[in-house]
Amino acid sequence: MLTVANQKGGVGKTTTTVNVAAALAQAGARVLVIDLDPQGNASTALGIDHHAEIPSIYDVLVDGTPLTDVVQPCPDVDGLFCAPATIDLAGAEIELVSLVARETRLAKAVTAYLEGQVEGERIDYVFIDCPPSLGLLTINAFVAAREVFIPIQCEYYALEGLSQLLKNIELIKNHLNPGLHVSSILLTMFDGRTRLASQVADEVRTHFPDQTFRAAVPRSVRISEAPSHGQTVMTYDPNSSGALSYLEAANEMADRGARGEKEQS
């Protein structure tokens, strides 16, 4: 279970969430994407209906609706599921403030959902796509998942804000979720022709040698076109450079998971 977070907007959180999730599902895993951003971009990219009347993650967080009642299958990829976000979620940030157990509501819902799964239909990966802020929605995600997955845009200012994010993760770890840690970092919108991109990439790899994926995602028009077709680039143009790099990142993630399981057994 991974929270995809970075409090900067437009760095590729949603794009990374949906494409890594789709790549893992295409390889045979069962994957759930929880859309926790009121903009609902992950829901759109996965071709999931999320107009105002659709049962959504808002109902789960605010009304205690079981997660299973809002999860929809993604029409294009077998084994890929999405708990959509509707515009209601914009109000949840404030509504949550006065609710009991406001930080742990998502964690409870996901735990109940996973426990309710039958053998043979178990979810292998859960990705939570966060809004670009550190409000109660993101805090709920940090409490629900142990792993944090940070996409970093290879541009100037990329590292600005990262130390703030790490501080916040440390706070949540100390107070709400002792197992929380940054497990994965993916360099996105990488343009190998510019020195700046290479410098940012080098700096990230130096600071986070174990977490940073070897694959970096290039800037690609196909990646940015896919959502307007209600698709991930994994189905929209599977042979494009963007799709191949997301596939590589997903492979690395699956390898790490397999190694982790081996070490535990």
- Which of 3, 5, 7, 15: binder of ligand ADP (CB under 6 A)? 15
The one-character DSSP state at 130 is P
Closest CA to 210 of 261, 128, 147, 168: 147
14 binds Mg ion (CB under 5 A): yes
| Min CB(42)–Mg ion separation in Å | 7
Alpha-helical regions (H) of the chain: 13-26, 41-45, 57-58, 89-95, 105-115, 136-144, 162-175, 195-207, 221-225, 233-236, 241-264
Q: Are 244 and 251 in contact (CB under 8 A)?
A: no
Q: Are 53 and 46 in contact (CB under 8 A)?
A: no
220 binds ligand ADP (CB under 6 A): yes
d(CA 35, CA 17): 9
Stretch that binds ligand ADP, among 10-18, 100-108, 178-186, 206-214 (CB under 6 A): 10-18
8 binds Mg ion (CB under 5 A): no
13 binds Mg ion (CB under 5 A): yes
Stretch that binds Mg ion, among 29-37, 195-203, 215-223, 231-239 (CB under 5 A): 29-37
| Min CB(11)–ligand ADP separation in Å | 4
The one-character DSSP state at 123 is -
Question: Residue 189 touches which of Mg ion, ligand ADP, none (CB < 5 to 8 A by kind)?
Answer: ligand ADP
Q: In terms of C-beta density within 10 A (0-12 exposed, 13-18 middle, 19 or more buried), how is residue 174 classed?
A: exposed
Q: Are 6 and 151 in contact (CB under 8 A)?
A: yes
Contacts of Mg ion in 37-76 (CB under 5 A): 37, 41
CB atoms within 10 A of CB 124: 14
7 binds ligand ADP (CB under 6 A): no
| Min CB(265)–ligand ADP separation in Å | 36
9 binds ligand ADP (CB under 6 A): yes
What amino acid occupies position 245? S
d(CA 166, CA 204): 13
19 binds Mg ion (CB under 5 A): no
Residue span 120-139 as binding mask against ligand ADP, x where in contact by CB under 6 A, dash where not? ------------x-------
Stretch that binds Mg ion, among 31-39, 87-95, 161-169, 205-213 (CB under 5 A): 31-39
Residue span 148-167 as binding mask against ligand ADP, x where in contact by CB under 6 A, dash where not? --------------------
CB atoms within 10 A of CB 120: 6
Q: Which is nearer to Mg ion, 41 or 140 (by Cβ)?
A: 41
Query: Contact residues for ligand ADP (CB under 6 A)?
Result: 9-15, 41, 132, 188-189, 217, 219-220, 223-224, 227, 242
Query: Contact residues for Mg ion (CB under 5 A)?
Result: 13-14, 37, 41
